[in-house]
Amino acid sequence: MIVVMASGATSEELEKVVSQIKDLGYQVHILNGVERNVIACIGDERGKPQLLSLGAFSGVDKVMPVLAPYKFAAKTSFPENTLIEVTKDWSIGKGIFSVIAGPCAVESEEQIVSIARNVQKSGANALRGGAFKPRTSTYSFQGLGEEGLKFLSVAREETGLPVITELLDPYKLDLVAKYADIIQIGARNMQNFSLLKEVGRTKIPVILKRGLMATVEELLMSAEYILAEGNPKVILCERGIRTFERATRNTLDINAVPAIKDRSYLPVIVDPSHATGVAKYVSSVSKASLACGADGMIVEVHNKPSEALSDGAQSLKPEVFDEMMQSMKKIADVLDVRLGTL
Ligand code: PEP
Ligand code: MN
């Protein structure tokens, strides 16, 4: 932490601040400037709100944290990028661009099983499908609930694909955990801290989606909630943020991929479907995600997008998904990265 004294602060004011810093257990290094003094507090400041309160001392201009406000999520704590094991055959992280594909929502057994078969043929590593849907309107399709989870497990039995599904409430954790290989925490719940703590107490891998208006730092601080509870298996997901641009549903912050990788060792995947909201843009954005060093993508595929109960406009038909995978394969080969199971 750096404490910048106001110009004109008296030596008594400086001394009071210095003695408080020492009482809090920090070493002090004072830099005497021409106009003002700066105090460097030496020691780990995270989780010590008293240091920030120095801003209330007379003569203090500002207090500036030096360390990122997260520890377990920081690259400085774990410099090696991690590989997150989901099943014995599939890990997310270095050297593979993992592909998770499937409908926005599970609608019937027949629907999810047929999509699972299709995406598997095209090289997907895993199947997505929401059984509990976070809908803006209470009148929209809310998901099939436990029945949807059961259909997902039928699809897993039929294909062997691991399944990813969203958890909306802490009290549904035990139920969702019975079926999910990866739990998704959606954008709207990125800062539902009690939900984050609950999934942090499990050992189930978690895909944490970036909030609609959240910064990269806030995303990492949310990941910290899960990691600090003891669950190391966190996968971050850039799914577009809300900006003034309305040509697309959201604005994919492709910058977030290298920016997160610079700060954290956690894998980062991209969701080109929610980022664009437009099926015909999904392929371009998926290729950009692969090329910019993301660890994978989660993409919506529906057998009949025009009849989908949610997010049909951004869902790819299975044959379009297949074409996209074929053209992404060429990029993956150049990059020497494995694309899904291809
Ligand atoms: C979803 O994955 O279907 C979803 C609702 O995503 P998000 O939370 O990113 O909006
Ligand atoms: Mn969706």
The pLDDT tens digits for 152-172 are 999 999 999 999 999 999 999
Best probe residue, ligand 1, of 142, 184, 298 (max atoms within 8 Å of C-beta): 184
Q: What is the mean pLDDT of residues 284-292?
A: 98
- pLDDT attached to residue 67: 84
Q: Which residue has the higher pLDDT, 46 or 281?
A: 281
Please report the atom of ligand 1 found closest to the CA of residue 311. 3
Which of 23-32, 144-153, 235-244, 315-324 is predicted with the least confidence, judged by mean pLDDT?
23-32
| Ligand 2 (single-atom ion) residues, CB below 5 Å | 104, 311
Is the shortest distance between the CB of 134 and ligand 1 below 6 Å? yes
Residue 233 has pLDDT above 90, yes or no: yes
- pLDDT attached to residue 44: 80
Q: Which of 295, 221, 296, 211 is nearest to 253 (CA)?
A: 211
Q: What is the mean pLDDT of residues 185-200?
A: 98
Is the shortest distance between the CB of 211 and ligand 1 below 6 Å? no
Which of 14-28, 46-60, 218-232 is predicted with the least confidence, judged by mean pLDDT?
46-60
Q: How many residues does the chain have?
A: 342
Task: Indicate the pairing of strand 90-93 with strand 268-270.
Answer: unpaired
User: Ligand 1 center to residue 168 CA distance, Å?
Assistant: 11
Is the shortest distance between the CB of 210 and ligand 1 below 6 Å? no
Q: What is the mean pLDDT of residues 322-329?
A: 98
Q: How far is CA 224 from CA 51, 67, 69, 174, 197, in A?
A: 21, 14, 9, 22, 10
- pLDDT attached to residue 11: 94
- pLDDT attached to residue 94: 82
Is the shortest distance between the CB of 241 and ligand 1 below 6 Å? no
Using one digit for the tens of pLDDT, what is the confidence trace for 105-160? 999 999 999 999 999 999 999 999 999 999 999 999 999 999 999 999 999 999 99
Residue that the structure tokens 């019975």 belong to: 178
- pLDDT attached to residue 325: 98
Is the shortest distance between the CB of 232 and ligand 1 below 6 Å? no
The protein residue with its alpha carbon nearest to ligand 1, atom 1, reads 104
Residue that the structure tokens 């437009």 belong to: 278
The protein residue with its alpha carbon nearest to ligand 1, atom 3, reads 104
Q: How confident is the model at residue 269 (pLDDT cuts 50, 70, 90)?
A: very high
- pLDDT attached to residue 45: 76
The pTM (predicted TM-score) of the whole model is: 0.93
